[in-house]
Homo-oligomer: A and B are copies of this chain.
Amino acid sequence: MSNDAISVPPLDAEAMRRARERQDRLTKPARSLGRLEDLSVALAGMTGRLDVPLAHRVVFTLAADHGVAAEGVSAYPKEVTPQMVLNFLNGGAAINVLARRFNARVVVADLGVDAELAPHPQLRALKVRRGTASITRGPAMSVVEALVAIEHGRSLVREETERGLDVVLTGDMGIGNTTASAALICALCRLDPVEVVGRGTGVDDAGLERKRNAVNAALEVNAERIAQGPAEALAAVGGLEIAGLAGVIIEAATRRRPVVVDGFISGAAALVAEAMAPGASAYMVASHRSHELGHGAALDHLGLKPLLDLELRLGEGTGAVLALPLLDAAMAILNEMATFDSAGVSQREP
């Protein structure tokens, strides 16, 4: 039951045709703005209009803890997860700084932090459980818990839609979550951990070896669960914030909102979203290529080509927010430039 496909509307082919046709009449050599032109066409297809609204942009930064963090897979102690949630709420983290700069709202949600967080007007308290169990010894959580976390992610998008929501951006916080994401990417793309497991926030060689071993163990002990479908794989080796982000992406796609996908952890969530809601990837904009090892493979699996490659490996939604000016630029070009006719500029020689 959990793996019934969720329906996603197709892109608007007519809007895409009109956007492409308009791009070709603007006062520039055809296709000379490269991927910006493609981006404007894609956004037109997602939203069904050429004047794609971009004013209300919300980054969903979802936090949770991971049982596997106890196994020495991160350079940071797990206390950093709740500490960073407070930092988000106080506006001092990188995602806050970038969101302010690029006019995005940050929605911070606790999907499963392993600490009691004091109530805060800016914190969405959606804790499913206090952290996952270690994926090296069994499932991270039950399938029901994973589905509840997905539903929480969907509900966040529904709530924000009422406040105004044009562009959805994904972000994450959770010590240990590159390990869970690596396991999930291996599971869903059928890759070997050596191709996917990277240094995360900066483990040394011994830590990297522990991460690889943890992912290998997780894939082995959870092999039967993984084979049952994406929700089961998510429950087996994923995480609560990853599940929430899958829900965010699914809800965005069903509502025809462009969703700017951040890096490695969001990439794992995007794989889950596409597996559960085929066609969701058509609404995804890959913001950047993470410095984390297996991210490229996840993007390839989704057919996405990242806009930026800045060797980022922070998460929080920082890479997604950095791509916003390119969305703005793409739509400004489409809607504000003069055409050859209106400007009296000669077209190509025949």
Q: List 12 A-B contacts (CB under 8 A).
A: A28-B94, A32-B201, A32-B313, A32-B314, A33-B314, A34-B311, A76-B346, A76-B349, A86-B344, A92-B338, A93-B337, A325-B325
- Decide: A329 near B338, CB < 8 A? Known: A83-B344, A83-B346, A345-B80: no
Copies in the complex: 2
A301 within 8 A of partner (CB): no
Q: Is the CB of A345 within 8 A of B84?
A: yes
Chain B neighbourhood of A84, CB < 8 A: 27, 345
User: Which of B86, B322, B337 makes the CB contact (< 8 A) with A329?
Assistant: B322
Given A329-B101, A346-B76, A346-B77, A34:B310 Cβ within 8 A: yes
Let me know if A92 and B337 touch, CB within 8 A. yes
A233 to chain B, nearest CB (A): 27
Within 8 A of B (CB), among A1-47: 26-36
CB distance from A86 to the nearest CB of B (A): 7
Distance in angstroms between the alpha carbons of A26 and B28 in the assembled complex? 42
> CB within 8 Å of B: which residues of A?
26-36, 75-77, 79-80, 83-84, 86-87, 90, 92-94, 97-98, 100-102, 201-202, 291, 307-314, 318, 322, 325-326, 328-329, 332-333, 336-338, 342-349
Told that A36-B312, A307-B310 touch, could you supply 13 new A-B pairs with CB distance under 8 A? A27-B84, A32-B201, A34-B310, A35-B311, A75-B349, A76-B347, A77-B349, A84-B345, A90-B343, A92-B343, A97-B333, A101-B325, A101-B328
**Do B346 and A80 touch across chains, with their CB atoms under 8 A apart?**
yes
A86-B343 contact given A202-B29, A348-B76, CB 8 Å threshold: yes
Who on chain B is nearest to A207 by CB? B349
Is A34's CB under 8 angstroms from B291's CB? yes
User: Is the beta-carbon distance between A314 and B86 smaller than 8 angstroms?
Assistant: no
Q: How far is the CA of A80 from the CA of B29 in the complex (A)?
A: 11
Contact B337 A97 (CB under 8 A): yes
B332 near A101: Cβ-Cβ < 8 Å: yes
> In the complex, A86 Cα to B76 Cα: how many Å?
57
